Amino acid sequence: MKRAQVRKDSYFDSVFLMSLSKRLKDNPQVADAIVAMGTSMNLELLADQGYAGPELTGVTPNDLIIAVEAADAAAVESALQAAKALLEKKAAPSSGGRADAEPTTLAAGLRALPGANLAVISLPGAYAAREARKALESGLHVMLFSDNVSLEDEIALKRLGRDKGLLVMGPDCGTAIINGVPICFANAVRRGPVGVVAASGTGLQEVTCLVDRFGSGISQAIGTGGRDLKNAKVGGITMLMGIAALAQDPETKVIVVVSKPPAQEVADKVVAALGAAGKSAVVHFIGLEPGSAGSAPASVHFASSLEETASMAAAIAAGRPALAAGRPAMPVPLAPEIEALAEREARRLAPGQKWLRGYYTGGTVADEAMILLHRLTGRLFSNNQGDPAFVPPDPRLSIEHTIVDLGDDVFTVGRPHPMIDPSTRTDRILAEKDDASIAVVLIDVVLGYGSHPDPAGAVVEALKVVRATAEARGGYLPVVASVIGTPADFQGYEAQVAKLEAAGCLVMPSNYRAAVLAARIVEKAAKR
């Protein structure tokens, strides 16, 4: 039974609402629970999940929706009452005298921390632009975590920031490392001579962690938000400001640019700015072949993967050639080793096992795997596909080869991002455990600030179940994984790898190589 209830003019922040949704779902009688603000996107997603009734008519972004699915009316009512009690407790004024310690406005925050020069803003898009403008007018750089900010507001904010010499990172920017301080979703990496400007979140995380692993370090890592390069009207304002800042930074020896496919005219501006910066640079436009952005000066090097981006940057920073004999400068496993591993795994598969399934929590690494695997297989479905012919009719159901980005809006309404709460992924893996046609499972595990305290531990039990299910029906199911993180991350890189390997996973040193191995397994299985 499904039922939705609306509380008019009741605003609560998204982090609290996601936590509340999870608490309601912890009740074994509750099949699903979503507590979210009544934005048009949330209403559309709720309708897709079967919550469409007269009670949702006329709902506005200022209204709160509590949607519950449970076995019967009594269980639904009990969950709604539990939500009401938790909301009232949250809304009640604190008696602990902590008003000064917990400022609720930008002005109060500045009084509490008068030396601050950066504001991190996480509000519904309808309100975020206004607060970002206030922060800029107060002389603060802005990291705009919020999404659903209009294109017009983004352009206006970035132009205002440029006029004032202030960075606007975002909208929808979730990762940065500024002066050695990780912000939002970021990793504990060593300081060093590589500066990064990235229009991608987990892409920035993958590159900074690999730079650390390759023995170098990060001076600054600046996020821009996804539209900065992709939309020609935005024009790469933050990217160009970030490049200019790194060009002037004496600690930065190598500038790295990472982005999903940009608008051609913006890509040309970025390459020209890098050429004028007077420093060596490495560029990776995900999904584009190296050099496809046009001619570039000798100081600008193009990489073909996130791993190669980090390898080239670390090599240049250490005074070595960016490429050695056509290979990344840092040691990597030889192709024959991957071939032998793929052959071993493919031999164990049962007839009929032929499809690859990727369950990703990071959007950019999902894109890297999707683009690579689509090229290799010629037919891969994903909710991130740009070609509508390869977007699954229902994003909740995998078909043929599928890579699913579980951080997409359709999966996160009223729920934490899967990097925070991996149950979105484990639910999807377990829902597809009886599909005897799956030949290989591909996953990412993302460590660092903001992420789950034990992301490997959170997924291994589900992986054990699907592997055991495959074996029980006479098959075998290889799981290929990569871990984004460093030994300094509080989750512990080595401990996370060990947990995955103890569960039978094949852990590769990068997302790119994990995707290559997964592809080779299904290719070899198809030839048997």
Antiparallel, parallel or unpaired: β 2-7 and 64-70: antiparallel
Cβ pair 458, 452 in contact under 8 A: yes
User: Per-residue pLDDT tens for 135-165?
Assistant: 999 999 999 998 889 999 999 999 999 999 9
pLDDT band at 93 (very low <50, low <70, confident <90, very high): low
Distance CA 229, CA 287 (A): 14
Mean pLDDT of 342-371: 96
Sequence-ordered list of residues with C-beta below 8 angstroms from that of 445, at least 6 positions apart, any chain: 361, 455, 456, 459, 481, 482, 483, 484, 485, 496, 500
Q: pLDDT value at position 471?
A: 96
Distance CA 73, CA 75 (A): 5
Residue 261 in this model has a pLDDT that exceeds 90: no
Taking alpha carbons only, the member of 136, 145, 141 closest to residue 118 is 141
Token pair listed for 359:
């369950």
Q: pLDDT value at position 325?
A: 40
Sequence-ordered list of residues with C-beta below 8 angstroms from that of 105, at least 6 positions apart, any chain: none
Q: pLDDT value at position 330?
A: 36
What architecture (CATH level 2) is domain 176-332? 3-Layer(aba) Sandwich (3.40)
Residues in the chain: 528
Higher pLDDT: 329 or 465? It is 465
Q: pLDDT value at position 331?
A: 37
Distance CA 46, CA 56 (A): 10
Token pair listed for 5:
């209830």
Please state which of the four CATH numbers 3.90.1150.10, 3.10.20.30, 3.40.50.720, 2.20.25.160 is assigned to the domain occupying 103-172.
3.40.50.720
DSSP character string of 182-199? EEESB----EEEEEEEEE
Mean pLDDT of 347-374: 95
Q: What is the CA radius of gyration of the chain?
A: 23
What are the Cα distances from residue 384, in Å, to 148, 232, 362, 459?
Answer: 18, 20, 12, 22
pLDDT band at 381 (very low <50, low <70, confident <90, very high): very high
For 82-86, 140-144, 414-418, 466-470, which range has the lowest pLDDT when averaged over its residues? 414-418
Q: pLDDT value at position 289?
A: 66
pLDDT band at 22 (very low <50, low <70, confident <90, very high): confident
Q: pLDDT value at position 322?
A: 82
Higher pLDDT: 494 or 57? It is 494
Phi/psi class of residue 394: alpha, beta or left (left: φ > 0; alpha: ψ in -120 to 50)?
beta
Share above pLDDT 90 across residues of the chain, in percent, rounded to a whole number: 71
Mean pLDDT of 454-466: 97
Cβ pair 281, 254 in contact under 8 A: yes
Residue 293 in this model has a pLDDT that exceeds 70: no
pLDDT band at 332 (very low <50, low <70, confident <90, very high): very low
Residue 497 in this model has a pLDDT that exceeds 70: yes
Residue 488 in this model has a pLDDT that exceeds 90: yes
SS3 486: coil
Token pair listed for 126:
């309808």
Mean pLDDT of 264-270: 93
Q: pLDDT value at position 326?
A: 44
pLDDT band at 170 (very low <50, low <70, confident <90, very high): very high
pTM: 0.86
Average pLDDT of the chain to the nearest whole number = 90
* Helix 511-527 vs helix 306-317: crossing angle, to nearest 10: 140
For 136-150, 156-170, 182-196, 432-446, which range has the lowest pLDDT when averaged over its residues? 136-150
Distance from chain centroid for Cα 218: 20
Q: pLDDT value at position 120?
A: 94
User: Per-residue pLDDT tens for 94-106?
Assistant: 555 444 457 878 9
Higher pLDDT: 337 or 329? It is 337
**CATH superfamily of the 335-527 domain:** Succinyl-CoA synthetase domains (3.40.50.261)
Q: pLDDT value at position 60?
A: 87
Residue 328 in this model has a pLDDT that exceeds 60: no
